Homo-oligomer: A and B are copies of this chain.
Amino acid sequence: MTQPAPGRPTLVTVARAAGVSRQTVSNVINSPHLVSPETLELVRSVLDSVGYRPNLAARQLRTGRSGNIGLRMRPSNDGINGAVLDGFLHALTEAAQAAGHRIVLFTATDDADEVRGYRELVDTTNIDGFVLTDTHHGDDRARWLEEQGTAFVTFGRPWSDTVAPETSSHSWVDVDGAAGTAAATAHLLGRGHTRIGFIGWPAGSGTGDERRTGWRRTLLDAGLPIDGLDVACADGIPDGASAADSLLRSASVTALVCASDSLALGALGAARTSAQPIAVVGYDNTAVAAAVGMSSVAQPLEQVARSVIDSLLAQLADPVPPDAMHRLVAPSLVARASSTAPAHVDPRHAPFVGTT
C-alpha cells in the first residue's frame, strides 16, 4: 500500500510515509505499549513495506534477545582433522551474521567443563542459545540444556543405543556419513576396483561406525568381500600409513576408503611404496586433500550451518518451543587424481604425501 522510499529507510522516511512523528515511530519500535493499537498497526505496516530494519540495540530491548550464540571451540589437532570444524565455524558465523546474530566462542577441556561454560555464559552474558558439535555416545551435554530450557541445536546426531536419532527430543543437523563412504566406494567400484579396504576408527564412535557401514554395505550389495579388509586405528597420518601398510601386505587391496583426510594422507604415503597403483579416497575434503590432489568426501558445511541457524531461530521466535527439527544432509564426493589417475603420470599430478 505504501511505496518504499528510495535509499535506505530511516525513522524519518517511515514517519513521513505513515504521516506520524519520528518519536511515534521510535515508540512503535521501542515502547509499543505507549502507542495506540491503530497507530501501531499503521506504522508497523509501513515499517514492513519499506523494509525498515530497526537497529539491533532497539530490537534487543524489544525482544530481550542478544543475538549471541555460544559455541565451544575445539582444538585444531594436526590442522587436518580439525579443519572441518574450522570450516563449520566460518559457515556458522556467516549464517548467523546473515540473520543478525553473532558467535561467542569459548573453550573447554571436556563435556563437563563445556556445560560449566554454558552455565557461565547463561549467567554472565545475554546469550540466546548454543550450537553443540562432536555428539557422541554417553553425551550428557544436551540434557543440561534441555533441563534449563535453553535453545540449542547439535551439529551431529544424538548417538544412543536406546533412542533413535529420529525420535530425539532436541533439534539436530547432521551429514549422512554412510552415504559419503558409500559414494566413495561406488566411485572405486566404477573404476574397476574389487578389493577395496577401509581405514577407520575403533568401533563405538557413532560418526566412525556409520562411515564404516557405508563402505561395508556397498561392497556387500555388490557381492564383494569385506572380510579382513577393514582396519581400525586412531586418527592421524602415521596411523593411516601403518593401517594402509598392513592392508597392502595382507589383503591385496587395490583401493582404500578412509574415514578422514588424515588417515587418507597416511595411506597415500604408504601407497606410493606399493608396486601397483593404489587408489585412495579421504573424508572431509580439507585444504590438504585439494592441495595434494586427493579425492575426498565433502560435507556441505554451508547447508549444515544455515539449517542449524534456522532451527535455532525457530526456537527463539516461538514462545511455545516448536517440534524438534532433525535434518540429515547428503555429502558429495570430490574425485581427484588419487583415485582417478593412472599411476606414475606427470609428477605434478601425482598424489603424494611426505613426512615431516
Contacts and interface: CB of A to CB of B under 8 A. Distances in A.
B86 A97 contact: no
A103 B104 contact: yes
Given A337-B354, A352-B350, A102 B80 contact: no
A187 to B, nearest CB: 16
B75 A90 contact: yes
A124 B55 CA distance: 9
A68 interface: yes
Nearest to A81: B287
B354 A336 contact: yes
A353 B349 CA distance: 7
A97 B106 contact: yes
Interface in A31-85: 55-57, 60, 66-68, 73, 75-76, 78-80, 83
A6 to B, nearest CB: 21
15 contacts: A56-B120, A67-B124, A76-B86, A86-B86, A103-B104, A103-B106, A104-B104, A287-B288, A291-B353, A292-B292, A292-B353, A292-B354, A293-B353, A294-B354, A337-B354
Interface of A: 55-57, 60, 66-68, 73, 75-76, 78-80, 83, 86-87, 89-90, 93-94, 97, 102-107, 120-121, 123-126, 237, 265, 269-270, 272-273, 286-288, 290-294, 336-338, 346-356
